[in-house]
Structure formats: structure tokens, C-alpha cells
Structure 1
Amino acid sequence: MSRRAVVTGGGGFIGAYLTKRMVADGWSVAVVDNMVRGDARRFADVADDVELFTCDVRDQAALEKAFAGADVVMHLAAVNGTENFYTNPELVLEVGMLGALAVTNAARAADVPDLVFASTAEVYQTPAVIPTPETIPLMLPDSLNPRYSYGGGKIVSELIAFNYGREHYRKVQIFRPHNIFGPDMGWKHVEPQFIMRALAAKDAGDGTFPIQGDGTETRSFLYVDDCVDGILTMYEKGGHREIYHIGSEDEITIRELAGRIGKIVGIDLDIRPGALPEGGTRRRCPDVTKMRGLGWSPLVSLDDGLERTVAWYREHRDDKPANDLM
């Protein structure tokens, strides 16, 4: 008899890739998603093998029905996308914190033994240590800045998961993904925004390419398949009440990222610096020693991942939805 997993946010970017992988691995999978930001199209290839609960992650009664008989709940539902942090902070906070409470209480009521929560690198904001280990203090620099609605909500979510998990679960784990990217990741993240801008620049024959900041800001990007592999490796081999970074240790500048995307698109970009939004982080790169200790390491290079991602957005560039949360 196959094990049963429930993926909240399974119509989202990482959630859909996780759903497809778990079906392929022989799990019985259910998805909880209200499809406001998610899209069942993302897991259409395995739709016949997925039980879909179209409900809100804040609805505990509905979650209890969805969670019945599950061996693990993978809680990925959230309102992500940096633009949304600034423009929809109330919704970001409500889905983040009330969703965490509803999921944790519903899983307990349904006697689910294992709980996995997705957190974020945003819990550090501006980390003092690079590469950043899981052990540094979490940071909320300014409660007046809506940017921190997401990171602040995730800090609270971690507290909920671990403190409720002291007595009520066999295994509770947190993973903090660091800049995961890939095909069909939405439209409000740096890669799709750069790709769409580069495609438009090529069409116009004008390589002028404005960016936020001066381009020396750094990130490290992990392809989505490697992220999913990391989540499942953590779940199978990791410990109870543990936190794991899932990301790449290859740190690059935003200017270099734009240049690589331009090269793939086929245009030489004239990168023009601009203002950096208040609250933006200048450097971010995780220490993934803990995950490597479980036998995991990234397999897809940045360039290979970008090639696949550019190809998808080139093909689907006219599919950008009117939904401003996407």
C-alpha cells in the first residue's frame, strides 16, 4: 500500500513539481490549493493520480478532511513573489500565519504523523554570515516595511510548526529554499522578469536593460528539480525538529544573471542601474553543508537551468495572466 502525502500549494511552482515527483515515486498524493495563485495545469501530467481539494489553506475543517489518512503533510501554500510583499502584505501575512495554524491544527486532528513546512531565506533578511548556516538569528529589521510581511510570517510559521510539533508529531521539519527557479515559476520573480524584459529588448532591437540596484547584489539560484530532490532527501533522511537549507552555494551578481539570460536570449544587454527597493538584501547565499551530510547536492547547473527556463518563457510569453498575484 502506497504512502499518502498531502501537498498544500500543490498548484504552485515548487508544489506542482513536488507533486509530480511524489506521484512518480509511488506516493498517493493529494493537493490542497484554492487556485488563486496556483494552477492545476502545472500537474496536469499526473492529474489522474492526484486527489484535488480546492479549498483555502486557512480553512481548518476542510483541511482535516483532506489530511485524513495522510502519512505526511508538505505545507508549501503561501502568497509568494517579491512584488506581492510590497503590494499585498495583509494577504501575505494572513495566508502565511493563519494557514500555518490551520495546517498544524488540522494535521494534529487528523493524526498525521509527519509535517514538513516550507520557510524562506527571507527570515534572515540581511544575513551577517555568507554562506549562511541554518543557525544564525532570524531578523525582522523594520515592521513598518511591508517587504517583511513574507519573512515575518514565515518566522511565525516556524515557531508554530516547531512548538506544536514538540508533542504532537513524529517528525516536524523546516526547509528554507534559496531562490528556486525553473519553467512555469510565475511572473513576479527575478528570472521571469529578466527573461521577459530580454525577449522584449531583442524584439525591439534595443539592448537597454534597467535593473533595480547597481547589479552587484548577489544571489545563488537553485533549479527546481534539485529543490524537490532536496525536500524528499530531507524528509527521508533528516531528523525531527530540524531546519535545512536547500539551495546552491554558487553566488553570482544580479548583473551576471542578466548577462547570462541575455546571452541565452541572443542579445547583448546594456544594463542600466536603478534604485534598490527599501529592504532589499545585498547578498544571499546559503551554507548547505547540512543537506550535503544527507547525501544531497545540486545536479543542474545554473546555465542549464536558465536554458530550460528561457525556453519555457519564450514559448509561453503571451500566457501571462491578468491575476495580479501571479
Structure 2
Amino acid sequence: MADGKRFDLAGKRVFVAGHRGMVGAALLRRLSREPVALVTASRDELDLTRQADVEAWMAAQRPQVVIVAAAKVGGILANDTWPVEFLEQNLLIELNLIRSAFRVGVEKLLFLGSSCIYPKHSPQPIKEDYLLTGPLEPTNEWYALAKIAGIKLCQAYRKQHGAEFISAMPTNLYGPGDNFDLATSHVVPALVRKMHEAKREGAASVAVWGTGSPRREFLHVDDLADACVFLLERWSGSEPVNVGCGEDVTIRELAELVRAVVGYQGELVFDPTKPDGTPRKLLDVSRLAALGWRPRIGLREGLAGTYAWFLANAAAARGLAGAAA
């Protein structure tokens, strides 16, 4: 549990690993409001899968705080297509960063996991202690196994060495900087892109994977970034902390919301031959709520902002050159 002591970020050198991703970019936006010295490294500067390179970089830069937001991520199709990469690359990234952080004396580390770590048929809402109580969802077990290993590594360093390494489990995220490539994206950016293109082309319908019945919780990435800063300052415990809004919607309801935000007038056609994934995935966020944190961005407001970002940044959005023309 939290020990009641507040960690002071002021004046610290904070390394955000994965700063060019959606989560990392949101962390930079949030941390820019804090009196900290931000440290980053692009892929050209540092390959996080190479142990010797990470150790040398960390020894030279000497960050005092590390946030592990770097990961290979993707939706159901990507996880199913590249299981080796999802397991191998994520294991390498987190092992290299966590071990190097300990070796250079990092004062506090926050490891970001994922709600997909929990068993496929967890009781709902999902409490943190449901971890490892049942089989994983097969469509993303490779990514989930890697994230579980990262959580356990943080706990091991805390148990054996007293390291101040904590972990947070975000629910499904969306927002500015998301990946809109249909081959690798998650459900929100995929729906935004599909409906935008259908609207532009005057298509009569849009296909949506699955039955539309699974329920999912969605958190805006800027809310996650705020929760990360909050946890760095307020949480000191070996147990992971769920980060979400505590409310969920069906995929059908989500698709209808996206359709309304985009302004698409056509029909939604659900394809039951495509995988639904886990039937429901709603996090129990009582641990974080008890500490005093709440999200600020509602789903419809967040979707509208995401679509606005999409329209303004289509040429630069991954996998989307020219799609808003």
C-alpha cells in the first residue's frame, strides 16, 4: 500500500522512454507543466532492445525518474500476426530499462502495463489482485505475458533491493497521436478512420469487427498522463494500480458514438466472423480513486478531440498519408 510519503518531482531529471508514441507524447505534454528536466531519446539515438546500448545511455544520462512507456503495441490483428515481436521486443525493452534504472540508482520508476494482462474471464470490474488467476485472452497473450513479466520484475527489484519501482495498468487508451493504420490500430482509431473515409467516399456502410456486444472501457491518453504524474508523487507500493474511468460501453455503442462525431450517415455492419476478444474488460479503479484521482475527459468529448486531431494531422498520422484530403 501507499506509505503516505509524497515523492517530490521538482528538479528531477525525468526520462520518458517511448516519448514519440501516443502515451509518451501525452506524458511530455503533462510533465512540461512540472518543474522537471525532461530527458528523451529517439529510436535513432537509442535502440531499447539492445542491452549494452541502454546501459551505456542510462549511465551517461543519469535520469532520476524513469517512465517506461515504450512498447510494441497494436490491436487484435497485429497481435495475432506478429506474436514473436510482441513477446520478444517488449521483454527486451522492459528488462533493459528496468535493470539499467536500478544499476544507475534511479530514484523512482513507473512501468506502464495494460489491462490485457488480466484473465479473459475475470470477474467484473477487474481488481488488481485478479492478475494470474486464469487463462489470458488468446488474441493478445503474447503482449500480455510480456507486460506481466515487467510488473513482476518491478516487484522483484522492490522485494530484493528495496527499489522504488511501481506499475500502473491503463485501460484501453485513445487520443491525439494514436495509430490510424488499419493493420495495426486499436478499435477507436480504426473506427475513426473507417468512418471518415466512408463519409468522404459516400459509402453506404462501414464494416465493424465482431458482434458489437463486447464491453470496453476507454480512457483519454491525457487523463492517463495526469494519472501517471499523480502516481509518481503519491503511490509507493508493490501492487499495480489500475488506471481507468470505471465505466464501459459496448463496441456497438462506441461505433455509434464515433459515427455521430465523424458525421457519417451510413449503416454499421457488424461482422460476427471476426473475433470479439474478451467479452468484457472493465477495471476496478477504487485503489486510484481512494488516493484522490479522477479522470476529467468524457468519452464523447475525447472522441471529438481525437477526430479533430486526426483531421489536422492526417498527413503525419502513421499509416494515413493523405487520407483527409
TM-score range, shorter chain: 0.7 to 0.9
TM norm structure 1: 0.86
**SS of 1:34's equivalent?**
coil
* Unaligned residue ranges in structure 1 (runs of 5+): 36-53
Structure 2 residue corresponding to 1:7, chosen from 7, 16, 20: 16
Q: Does 1:24 align with 2:30?
A: no
1:293-308 alignment runs, 5 A limit: 293-308=290-305
Structure 2 distance, partners of 1:275, 1:217, is 12
Q: Does 1:247 align with 2:244?
A: yes
**Aligned partner letter, 1:129:** P
**Aligned partner letter, 2:22:** F
Contact 2:102 2:163 in 1 (8 A): no
TM norm structure 2: 0.87
Structure 2 distance, partners of 1:30, 1:62, is 16
Contact 2:71 2:90 in 1 (8 A): yes
**Residue 278 of structure 1: CA displacement?**
4.8
Counterpart for residue 314 of structure 1: 311
Deviations along 1:256-298, one digit per CA (max 9) or x if unpaired, are 1111111111123411111365571111111111111111001
Distance 1:276 1:218, change over 3 A: farther
Q: Does 1:190 align with 2:187?
A: yes
Identify the range of structure 1 (184-193 vs 293-302) with the bigger mean alpha-carbon deviation.
184-193
Distance 1:277 1:154, change over 3 A: farther
Distance 1:77 1:16, change over 3 A: same
**Residue 304 of structure 1: CA displacement?**
0.7
Contact 1:140 1:151 in 2 (8 A): no
**Aligned partner letter, 1:55:** L
Counterpart for residue 123 of structure 2: 129
Q: Does 1:286 align with 2:280?
A: no
Contact 2:127 2:284 in 1 (8 A): yes
Counterpart for residue 4 of structure 2: none
Identify the range of structure 1 (159-168 vs 244-253) with the bigger mean alpha-carbon deviation.
159-168
Distance 1:122 1:25, change over 3 A: same
Structure 2 distance, partners of 1:229, 1:156, is 25
Structure 2 distance, partners of 1:297, 1:279, is 29
Structure 1 distance, partners of 2:269, 2:29, is 39
**SS of 2:265's equivalent?**
coil
Structure 2 distance, partners of 1:290, 1:220, is 17
Q: How many residues align?
A: 304
**Aligned partner letter, 1:14:** V
**Aligned partner letter, 1:175:** A
**Residue 230 of structure 1: CA displacement?**
0.7
Structure 2 distance, partners of 1:163, 1:117, is 13
1:34-183 alignment runs, 5 A limit: 34=43, 54-68=45-59, 69-82=62-75, 83-138=77-132, 141=135, 145=138, 147-183=140-176
Deviations along 1:217-272, one digit per CA (max 9) or x if unpaired, are 11111111111111111111112313101111121011111111111111234111
**Higher RCO (C-alpha 8 Å, min separation 6):** 2
Contact 1:6 1:66 in 2 (8 A): no
**Residue 22 of structure 1: CA displacement?**
1.4
Structure 2 distance, partners of 1:297, 1:207, is 40
